[in-house]
Amino acid sequence: MSVKITGEELRYMALLHDVTGVSAKDCIIDGEDSTIIFIVPPGQAGIAVGFKGRNVRRISKILGRRIEIVEWADTLEDFVRNLFLPARVLGINLNKTPDGRKVLYVRVDPHDKGIAIGKNGRNVHKARLVLKRYYGVDVVSIV
């Protein structure tokens, strides 16, 4: 799926690079949640976050928004695991409804269900936003 990056997203990606030295693969601005989600290359999330979250706090203070860092993965299942960290994802099931919508069911450890959903469904919303952009997923459901 082709992803278009706006000028504003490019500026945020440049800021991430200036602060952390990590080149983001993508940047998604969530106006609803006032959050910026950076997709970084595999193995770069720790560097982007910084020691005790220092880099994320610094960027968040500069931009006045919540910052989230997610590591890219080449497979849908691994990418979903990265999106829901630290919750333990046990498996995923992608279904297509008769009307053509894609529904992703994410099975998590029962003890991690609250973590996976997040406060006010924040993590599910983030996953839906990111997965819509890359995989055309319309609905994300935690089971």
- pLDDT tens for the 143 residues of the chain, in order: 567 888 889 999 999 999 999 999 999 998 877 899 999 999 999 999 999 999 999 999 999 999 999 999 999 999 999 999 999 999 999 999 899 899 999 999 999 999 999 898 899 999 999 999 999 899 998 98
Angle at which helices 122-135 and 76-83 pack, to 10 degrees? Answer: 150
Q: Which domains does the chain have, with CATH numbers?
A: 7-71 (3.30.300.20), 76-142 (3.30.300.20)
CA gap 57, 36 in Å, rounded:
12
What is residue 43's DSSP assignment? T
CA gap 103, 27 in Å, rounded:
23
Q: How far is CA 129 from the centre of its chain?
A: 8
- Return all residues near 108 (Cβ < 8 A) that are at least 6 apart: 84, 87, 88, 89, 90, 116, 142, 143
Fill in the amino acid letter for 57. R
